[in-house]
Amino acid sequence: MHAISLVVALIARRPLPNNRGDRLCVQLAICLLGLAACGATEPAAGSNQADMSDAGQGADASDAGTTDAGATDASGGSSDAGATQADGASSKSWPLPAPTLLGATRKAKVLVPKSYDGKVALPVVMLLGGYDYLSQDLDDWIALSSQVHTRNFVLILPDGQIDSDGSPYWNATPQCCDFDNTQVDDAGWLLGLLDELALGVHIDPKRVSLVGHSAGGFMAYRLACDAPERFAAVVSIAGSGFVDPKACKAKKAVSVLQIHGTKDDIMPIDGDDGIPGALGITARWGARAGCDAKSWAKTGLTVEHADDGLQAETTEWHFSKGCAANRVISLWQMEGNDHYPEFRPVFTDNLLIWTLARTR
């Protein structure tokens, strides 16, 4: 992270609409010492509709399967998940009411549609907050929970552990954001939550997706690297991944939607200190999906996603040829926006339209 840009960001820091306190000063100070920054606190949103979803193709049969169920709890104990993922077509009698919390020593809130009766397998979205704030803060900003009942999906709101500075964090990559070097197994814990959810709620294992901002985007990509067979898609808002592409062990791709502002000075759209930018991270996942690198192009769709004084500031890019069946690799480039866009309700609509259309 460039020291000058961080100082500018600190000086220019504005109060956020949801009035939640943040520790951006601490985060930036950490970065000035040579570590990578990952996020802060956010604005607020609602819902409307203008479709920017990229239509997927048929399911990739080679991407089915499950992985390690009995994940270790990040606090050191055993997670109370521990069974393989339930089949979405199972005739099992599902317990009602559905659980509202997951986890043993670390809890994660779960929201299920009011209409849920256990008969229909539901898609799942796991929401991952950034460094120094909670998943609930991210939901206050982009309002996914406001559409759980209308779009019929399950929303999980897990949080990272608290570091020595009092900030929630994810151990996603060497750069983000385990600054105390605890080496906590957040990936294992989050996968364990999904195993536990599959025991208590009738979910569709082919439609489990991740949405994260900043450090939460890093964590989402980490999960996709560790267990791509578990996820349909990653939506990363101003996040990124490993510096070394070989550190990502995924042989298969998930669908990816990277959302990035061109004026982001915390996680620059062009990358920083070896951390891949928006084009770099989409290129990596496009290669895993077998997409034709030369087919990267604008889709022709533009949308006004933010209250930024600009008209139709969001331009969609994607790989148009060669991608594996049902794999979509896209970028929503937000002209003139920083790390914390003032998202309009239509952003939430389009994010969920894109995400819930994805399947393994």
For residues 214, 154, 145 and 19, what is the CA-based torsion angle, rounded to 10 degrees?
-40
Tens of pLDDT along the chain (360 residues) come to 443 333 333 333 333 344 344 444 334 333 333 433 343 333 333 334 455 655 444 333 333 333 333 333 433 333 333 333 444 445 678 999 999 999 988 999 999 999 999 999 999 999 999 999 999 999 999 999 999 999 999 999 999 999 999 999 999 999 999 999 999 999 999 999 999 999 999 999 999 999 999 999 999 999 999 999 999 999 999 999 999 999 999 999 999 999 999 999 999 999 999 999 999 999 999 999 999 999 999 999 999 999 998 999 999 999 999 999 999 999 999 999 999 999 999 999 999 999 999 999
What length does the chain have? 360
Q: Are 176 and 218 in contact (CB under 8 A)?
A: yes
Distant-in-sequence contacts of 221-226, Cβ < 8 A, 24+ apart: 221/172, 221/248, 221/281, 222/170, 222/172, 222/173, 222/186, 222/187, 223/187, 223/190, 223/191, 224/250, 224/254, 224/256, 225/249, 225/250, 226/67, 226/187, 226/191, 226/250
Please provide the DSSP assignment of 269-304 as one string: TT-BTTB--HHHHHHHHHHHTT--GGGEEEEEEEE-
Q: Measured between alpha carbons, how far is 43 from 160 in angstroms, rounded to an integer?
A: 20
Q: Give start and end residues of each alpha helix (H) in 173-212.
A: 186-200
Amino acid type, 189: W
Q: Are 333 and 315 in contact (CB under 8 A)?
A: yes
Q: Which two tokens stand for residue 289?
A: 């999906």
The CATH homologous superfamily of the domain defined by 3-356? Alpha/Beta hydrolase fold, catalytic domain (3.40.50.1820)
Q: Where are the domains of the chain?
A: 3-356
Q: Measured between alpha carbons, how far is 78 from 83 in angstroms, rounded to an integer?
A: 13
Q: Are 192 and 85 in contact (CB under 8 A)?
A: no
Q: Are 334 and 262 in contact (CB under 8 A)?
A: yes
